[in-house]
Chain A
Amino acid sequence: MSGAFPVIRDADRVRRLAALPQVRPQALDRLRRAAVAVVGVGGLGTAAAPYLAAAGVGRLRLIDPDVVQETDLGRQILYGPADVGQPKVKAAAAALTAQAPATVVEVSTEALDAHNGRRLLEGVDVILDGLDEGRPRDFLNEYAVRTGTPVVFGGALGYEGQVVVVAPSGPCLHCLFGSVADAAADCAREGILGPLVGVVGALQAAEALKWVMGLGAPLRGRVLQIDLFAGATRVLSFAPRAHCPVCGGQGVPGARPAATSERNPHSPS
């Protein structure tokens, strides 16, 4: 059967990405070496992970204790009826490996918490938040502040979504929101418009790729809010809060990977 399925070479996969004037060869090397944890492969995680794999991210670590349910299929488009009852990480890993064989996909069916978090996130360069509850998000924020590992937070409920990057030299999530343990998160009760998770998850994937390659301006210290009902977006900027109990007003330590360019040459100057 040799030749029936042409081998897609890495160079071909990333050729359109590499055509961007800011994306230099070393940025693509960073992607190939990068490990991204996708914590939660529900709506947001299944939307984000295929873009990460497609772009040539070297290692994806999928963390989620849930199994695929019928009620997920309306928005978690990486899964089909045959996956119902399967662990999400297993079904997602199979789909991602088929999509991008060069990407190493690691899986864990543990529920990330304050006890296992350090172990589960060991060696990860960027964390993408696909969680559907607040308490482990509080942990991810604390982890970012302690270790300088960037976290691309995302949320989606009803028609409303948001993305915020907690990363070196920026404020932490607690600075703005306090604990998010009690945040409204139940789409079984509040409902959700399916494409919302695609919009938010794709934005998160873009932020993760930007961070790894040092591209453009991260959504750091800025909350991007999307309201699909109103057809409106809004960006709110915030700085570290003095006396924040998590970061002490110091924000997240560390530095961003060196930028290749801050300016988009396609936009009018």
Chain B
Amino acid sequence: MTLTVNGERREVPDVATIAELLDHFRIQHQAVGVLINGEVVGRGDFGTAPVREGDTLDIVRFVGGG
């Protein structure tokens, strides 16, 4: 499927949910922010929030050092 991830068009294996997409990118689910088509998705909804062909996603991890 084709998605726009962090501003870039990406071909990714078909995924059904945000959790699956994060796993595909090997991104931990802790302290990561995800917007799908501009809407924030809560971490508790990663496993159910659907990802559809053509969606725009922004994924940002919280940077903890200081």
Contact = CB atoms under 8 A, between A and B. Distances in A.
Contact of A238 (B6, B30, B33, B66): B33
Interface in A40-59: 40, 42-45
A41 B66 CA distance: 9
A223 interface: yes
Interface stretch (A97-105, A119-127, A180-188): A180-188
B40 interface: yes
A21 interface: no
Contacts of B65: 43, 132, 155-158, 184-187, 190, 192
Q: Is the interface of B mostly helix, strand, loop or mixed?
A: loop
B60 A157 contact: no
B35 interface: yes
Contact of A134 (B28, B42, B58, B64): B64
Given A182-B30, A238-B40, A155 B64 contact: yes
Contacts of B66: 40, 42-45, 129-132, 154-156, 185, 197
Interface in B9-35: 28, 30-33, 35
Contacts of A185: 64-66
Residue in B6, B62, B66 whose Cβ sees the most chain A Cβ within 10 Å: B66
A223 B58 CA distance: 11
Residue in B7, B31, B63, B65 whose Cβ sees the most chain A Cβ within 10 Å: B65
A131 B66 CA distance: 5
A182 B31 contact: yes
Given A132-B65, A177-B32, A186-B65, A241 B42 contact: yes
Interface residues of A, number: 47
A9 interface: no
A27 interface: no
Contacts of A160: 63
A177 B63 contact: no
A112 B17 CA distance: 38
A243 interface: yes
A155 B31 CA distance: 12
A180 B32 CA distance: 8
Contacts of B32: 177
A207 B63 CA distance: 18
Residue in A133, A155, A178, A182 whose Cβ sees the most chain B Cβ within 10 Å: A178
A225 interface: yes
A238 B64 contact: no
Nearest to A164: B62
Ranked nearest first, the 10 interchain pairs of A and B with the lowest CB-CB distance are: A185-B64, A155-B63, A183-B64, A157-B65, A183-B31, A176-B33, A182-B30, A178-B43, A132-B66, A241-B40
Interface of B: 6-7, 28, 30-33, 35, 38, 40, 42-44, 58, 60-66
Given A155-B63, A162-B62, A234-B6, 11 more contacts: A45-B66, A132-B64, A132-B66, A158-B65, A162-B60, A181-B31, A184-B28, A197-B66, A236-B35, A236-B60, A237-B38
5 contacts: A40-B66, A131-B66, A178-B30, A190-B65, A238-B35
